[in-house]
Amino acid sequence: MSAATVDGTTAAPDAPRTLSTVTWKTSISLGVVLALYALLLVLAPHEGSARFALSTPTDFFQIPVYVVPGMATAWICGALAAVMVALSVAATRRARRTSVWVPSVFAAVLLVGFLAWAAAGSPRDLSVVGLLGGALVLSVPLVYGALSGVIGERSGTINIAIESQLLAGAFTAAIAGSLTKSPWVGLLAAMAAAALVALVLAVFTITYRVNQIIVGVVLNVLVIGLTSFFYSLVLVPNTATLNTTVRFERIPIPLLDRIPVIGPVLFDQTIIVYLMFVIVAVVWYALFRTRWGLRLRAVGEHPRAADTVGVDVLRTRYRALLVAGAVGGMGGAFYTVVSINQFNREMTAGAGFIALAAMIFGKWDPVRAALAGLLFGFATNLQNVLSVVGSPVPSQFMLMLPYIVTLFAVAGLVGRSRPPAALATPYTTE
Amino acid sequence: MSDASGRHPAEEPENPLDEAAQRAAAEHEPGLAEELEQERAREAAPAIEETDDRWRDAFRRVAAGGWAVSLGAILLAVIAGSLMIIVTDEAVQAAAGYFFARPGDMLTAAAEAVGGAYSALFQGAVYNFGADTFAAGIRPLTQTLTNATPLIAAGLGVAIAFRAGLLNIGGQGQMLVSAAAAGWVGFGLTGLPVVVHLIVAMVAGILAGALWAGIAGLLKARTGAHEVIVTIMLNYVAYYLVSYFLATPGLMQAPGSANPKTPPTPESATLPPLLGERYNLHWGFVLSLLAVVVVWWLLNRSAVGFSYRAVGENPRAARVAGIDVPRATVSVMLVAGALVGLAGITQVLGTVTTGFGADIDAGIGFDAITVALLGNSNPVGVLGAGILFGGFKAGGSAMQAAEGIPIEIVLVVQSLIVLFIAAPPLVRAIFRLPQPGSTPKKKRSQTARKEVSA
């Protein structure tokens, strides 16, 4: 917050537009985070050594467990982070933008320092593989949801309904997957159901030009109501036939899965995780390298211009939303054919909103949005892992972390984040 | 904000019509030109043409107005709810097995299922005919008003932000922090005199809600951070913060308990019952009614409210007119948060006085959005919508208990109502109601034109 208040003096919201907007936002945000980190170390010193386990038994070669002194490592990492802050300040003073790698290194070293501090004195090993692998799995629905948001919003429709797409996908995948005993059918059904939700969004926002945020909010409530209603009345009495799916098996990729650290994390996953990487690339390519993507972005930025050159704005938006829905549905299927084998009431638990935040954090770019999704998944799993090693931080604060990071991000770090120009405006062809 | 975009899509600027008429005349298409001419005359004329039959006029005026759409939307949503009940009812399913042999059976079973459900809903929300005395029979109605109390207050909080063009999704977080603050003053500060204790607790809660929402307003005004994202994030932060307080002995956890729950609110800090000890209804309802009056005055009679509405309608024009837009953004979020905070304190100091957990918001923060939308973001509408949804909540629990129909059906019906109300052309088309300021003929020509251009 302090970053925000200080910043107001430098960048008035309606200041005349200049070509290079160098602000102190980044430096100040980094400085505030570093100060909080230092405060944590000073107020809650945590003696002992931290044990990092990097290998799993099946690897090509074994890396011994790293044992480092907790507090010393934490302070060294803090010093490195301070160097990054200094670099950022220096760049800003010379009226240059801080390059991307500075905050990235800053985050990485602070993370290592934080882990060293948190795991210090614990007799258990902190499994790096477990931390990263779990994070990847937890971020799957977030990444799919964020991609769904990116496609929809690039075409000019705010998609607050990601949550309902995930939930509808999870529900339908549970039923279809249970009836056919095939996770693939469940996946396809989830895509169809989420596309249906997207179609409702499209009809109301594009054809009837209702406020997009209103429709999104209402759709979330509607889908929660529908799925919970039918869950209690239909799924619970028929659990064996309607709510017991067969999950996707893990598919280890030969040889690659035995590389230390990376192998078990990246190459021993289910098909939905592999598909996620493929789809991030496909969405990026489709949006920025194909005619379809060009038209879609044109419709989101300047529909009048697109219309003038012959692009059917409404049809383009409909198609974009349907594709977005199908992608969101794949994230929903994760819950019932990958994570566990049955549907539960409101099991998405707000993941759609985090996906929305990831999309904004990622500046409406598929690759960055996916990275933001991974980050949020990581933050969630960090809490799980730290509770295993016995972290001194109350779990609630760890759980709060991704949201605070997002707040800082939308207020400061992603300062130049700009939504598509025609977002939230219905288009009338007249 | 919904007002401008959603309510009057049939209204069009005059220029395109003029141009089209001229073009049509120039192209010697007498039929089209004539029709456009008529259409232009209709737009210029008042919405309803006066005829001799006064009753007919009155009916048409009602049918073309917003009330008919609201009623139609409620009817559609109730029909959808009935279908859900019929599809999942066991007696209906059994009768459907031999539908072609005796179709009457299934229809009877369906009618019984739906009738039973809505009868239970009514008796749970308004008047219980099975009760012995009037005092006991009216109990459901008081429960409805108790449920409506926080819905009205929080609905006003969402509505006033709406009018300034801001979507306050942060009701959950604002309620949680206000409940926590009021609750903490309630059981943490002892030794205060009776009335003072209550007032201090209320002020603490309202202030906490205002400040929590104010963060979103400040970030929006200073950095342009989207208030939807900020309020959603603040919801989670508030949830985990309050969870931490609740789970930590010495902060808010009840002494000697392992549950994340506070001690009960002491007598000196509770809102007294409104109709005697027999009913749950408390003075919080009166506070909500007062809030309706205050918000109405604020929006319609005060300079501050005018600046909110101006910013909501068109921030650029408001800035040109000399209104400090960032200042209005921050202050409207403070007011919105205070109103949602009022909802939080009526929960803690009135409805749930036996100690509360992190679910004290009870989804009201999100329900408030639908209440504000249904009430068309005006205070009196919010009052009506809040009472309607309070009734749904009370009746829904009774329906779940009596008929075994999950209370989530209420969510479905509520969201469908709002969805349909937000799209008046759809409702009018379904019920063949006249579009405002037009006759059915115009509607046809409009859709035809849309198809041509689309």
Residue B7 has pLDDT above 50, yes or no: no
Residue A25 distance to chain B (closest CA, Å) = 10
Residue A27: what pLDDT?
82
- Is residue A417 situated within a structural domain? no
Out of A66, A99, A123, a domain closes at: A123
CB contact under 8 A, B233 and A314: no
Among A13-17, B48-52, B250-254, top mean pLDDT goes to: B250-254
B222 touching chain A per CB within 8 A: yes
Residue B388: what pLDDT?
92
In contact, B126 and B147? CB cutoff 8 Å: no
Percent of chain A exceeding pLDDT 70 equals: 92
Phi then psi for residue B151, to 5 deg, are -65, -40
How many residue pairs bridge chain A and chain B with CB atoms within 8 Å of each other? 165
- In this structure, the answer to whether residues A189 and A110 fall within a common structural domain is no
Q: What is the CA radius of gyration of chain A?
A: 23
Pick from A41-45, A131-135, B115-119, B340-344: least confident: A41-45
- In this structure, the answer to whether residues A93 and A136 fall within a common structural domain is no
**Pairwise pLDDT comparison (B313 vs A60), residue with the higher score:** B313
CB contact under 8 A, A225 and B426: no
Sign of the dihedral defined by the CA atoms of residues B374, B409, B357, B218, in that order:
negative
Residue A214: what pLDDT?
82
Residue B331 has pLDDT above 90, yes or no: yes
**Pairwise pLDDT comparison (B294 vs A208), residue with the higher score:** B294
CB contact under 8 A, B415 and A222: yes
A211 touching chain B per CB within 8 A: yes
Q: Give contacts of A 19-48 with B, CB under 8 A.
A: 25
B332: which 2 tokens? 């409207």
DSSP state, residue A49: E
A223 to chain B: nearest residue by CA? B412
CB contact under 8 A, A214 and B373: yes
Residue B314 distance to chain A (closest CA, Å) = 14
B241 chain-A contacts, CB cut-off 8 A: 396, 400
Cβ contacts of B36 within 8 Å, gap of 6 or more: B17, B20, B21, B24
Residue A284: what pLDDT?
95
CB contact under 8 A, A13 and B221: yes
Pick from A405-419, B385-399, B422-436: least confident: A405-419
Residue B285: what pLDDT?
94
Residue B50 has pLDDT above 70, yes or no: no
Pick from A194-203, B49-58, B139-148, B309-318: least confident: B49-58
Mean pLDDT computed over every residue of chain B: 81
Residue B202 distance to chain A (closest CA, Å) = 27
Nearest to B223 among A4, A215, A222 (CB): A4
CB contact under 8 A, A407 and B423: no
Cα–Cα distance for residue pair B217/A402, rounded to 1 Å: 21
- Is residue A429 situated within a structural domain? no
- Is residue A423 situated within a structural domain? no
Residue A21: what pLDDT?
62
pLDDT band at B453 (very low <50, low <70, confident <90, very high): very low
Cα–Cα distance for residue pair A89/A37, rounded to 1 Å: 18
pLDDT band at B59 (very low <50, low <70, confident <90, very high): low
- In this structure, the answer to whether residues A150 and A289 fall within a common structural domain is yes
In contact, B374 and B108? CB cutoff 8 Å: no
Q: Are strands A49-53 and A126-127 parallel, antiparallel or unpaired?
A: parallel
CB contact under 8 A, A222 and B5: no
A2 touching chain B per CB within 8 A: no
Q: Are strands A66-69 and A49-53 parallel, antiparallel or unpaired?
A: antiparallel
B15 touching chain A per CB within 8 A: no
Residue B405: what pLDDT?
87
Residue B11 has pLDDT above 60, yes or no: no
Residue A190: what pLDDT?
95
B93: closest CA among B81, B82, B105, B101?
A: B105
A390: which 2 tokens? 């016995």
Residue B441 has pLDDT above 70, yes or no: no
Residue B133: what pLDDT?
86
Residue A54 has pLDDT above 50, yes or no: yes
B16 touching chain A per CB within 8 A: yes
B418 touching chain A per CB within 8 A: yes
- In this structure, the answer to whether residues A227 and A352 fall within a common structural domain is yes
**Which of B88, B211, B240, B389 is most worth mutating to test chain A (most A CB atoms within 10 A of its CB)?**
B240
In contact, A148 and A154? CB cutoff 8 Å: no
Out of A123, A140, A156, a domain closes at: A123
Cα–Cα distance for residue pair B298/A112, rounded to 1 Å: 52
pTM of the model: 0.81
Residue A1: what pLDDT?
36
- In this structure, the answer to whether residues A151 and A106 fall within a common structural domain is no
B247 chain-A contacts, CB cut-off 8 A: 394, 396
Residue A10 has pLDDT above 70, yes or no: no
Neighbours of B379 (CB within 10 A): 23
Over residues B156-202, the pLDDT tens digits come to 999 999 999 888 889 999 999 999 999 999 888 877 888 899 999 99
Residue type, B35: E
Pick from A72-81, A95-104, A383-392: least confident: A383-392
CB contact under 8 A, B228 and A160: yes
CB contact under 8 A, B219 and A8: no
**Which of B18, B36, B228 is most worth mutating to test chain A (most A CB atoms within 10 A of its CB)?**
B228
Cα–Cα distance for residue pair A143/A375, rounded to 1 Å: 10
- Is residue A271 situated within a structural domain? yes
- In this structure, the answer to whether residues A108 and A138 fall within a common structural domain is no
Residue A378: what pLDDT?
87
- Is residue A16 situated within a structural domain? no
CB contact under 8 A, B416 and A222: yes
Q: How many domains, chain A?
A: 2
Residue B36 has pLDDT above 60, yes or no: no
B23 touching chain A per CB within 8 A: no
A311 to chain B: nearest residue by CA? B454
**Which of A1, A217, A315 is most worth mutating to test chain B (most B CB atoms within 10 A of its CB)?**
A217
Residue B152: what pLDDT?
96
Phi then psi for residue A126, to 5 deg, are -90, 115
Nearest to B232 among A204, A230, A357 (CB): A357
- As a whole number, mean pLDDT of residues A185-214 equals 92
**Pairwise pLDDT comparison (A414 vs B124), residue with the higher score:** B124
CB contact under 8 A, B223 and A407: no
**Which of A9, A197, A213, A214 is most worth mutating to test chain B (most B CB atoms within 10 A of its CB)?**
A214
Cβ contacts of A399 within 8 Å, gap of 6 or more: A380, A383, B236, B240
**Pairwise pLDDT comparison (B131 vs B310), residue with the higher score:** B310
The secondary element (H helix, E strand) that includes residue A250 is: strand A250-252
pLDDT band at A328 (very low <50, low <70, confident <90, very high): very high
The secondary element (H helix, E strand) that includes residue A251 is: strand A250-252
Q: Are strands A250-252 and A268-270 parallel, antiparallel or unpaired?
A: antiparallel
B415 touching chain A per CB within 8 A: yes
A209 to chain B: nearest residue by CA? B6
**Pairwise pLDDT comparison (B226 vs B346), residue with the higher score:** B346
Q: Which domain holds residue A43?
A: 2-11+22-123
- Fold adopted by B135-406: ABC transporter involved in vitamin B12 uptake, BtuC (1.10.3470)
The secondary element (H helix, E strand) that includes residue A53 is: strand A49-53
Secondary structure class of A427 (helix, strand, coil): coil
Out of A123, A149, A178, a domain closes at: A123
B450 chain-A contacts, CB cut-off 8 A: 429
- Is residue A427 situated within a structural domain? no
B9 touching chain A per CB within 8 A: yes
Among B82-86, B204-208, B279-283, B309-313, top mean pLDDT goes to: B204-208
Over residues B409-436, the pLDDT tens digits come to 988 998 898 888 888 888 888 888 777 6
Nearest to A400 among B221, B240, B454 (CB): B240
Over residues A254-279, the pLDDT tens digits come to 878 777 777 888 888 888 999 999 99
**Pairwise pLDDT comparison (B257 vs B394), residue with the higher score:** B394
A394 to chain B: nearest residue by CA? B244
The secondary element (H helix, E strand) that includes residue A50 is: strand A49-53
- In this structure, the answer to whether residues A309 and A163 fall within a common structural domain is yes
Cβ contacts of B437 within 8 Å, gap of 6 or more: B10, B11, B42, B43, B45, B47, B48, B64
Nearest to B406 among A5, A219, A228 (CB): A228
Residue B223: what pLDDT?
82
- In this structure, the answer to whether residues A69 and A189 fall within a common structural domain is no
- Is residue A234 situated within a structural domain? yes
Over residues B266-305, the pLDDT tens digits come to 888 888 888 888 888 899 999 999 999 999 999 999 999 9
Over residues A146-178, the pLDDT tens digits come to 999 999 999 988 888 899 999 999 999 999 999
Pick from A38-52, B15-29, B99-113: least confident: B15-29
| CATH number assigned to the domain comprising residue A204 | 1.10.3470
Over residues A298-322, the pLDDT tens digits come to 999 998 999 999 899 999 999 999 9
Residue B241 has pLDDT above 90, yes or no: yes
- Is residue A426 situated within a structural domain? no
- In this structure, the answer to whether residues A101 and A148 fall within a common structural domain is no
Residue A13 has pLDDT above 70, yes or no: no
CB contact under 8 A, B223 and A232: no
CB contact under 8 A, B408 and A228: yes
Residue A68 has pLDDT above 60, yes or no: yes
A5 chain-B contacts, CB cut-off 8 A: 218, 222
- In this structure, the answer to whether residues A136 and A271 fall within a common structural domain is yes
B80 touching chain A per CB within 8 A: no
**Pairwise pLDDT comparison (B73 vs B31), residue with the higher score:** B73
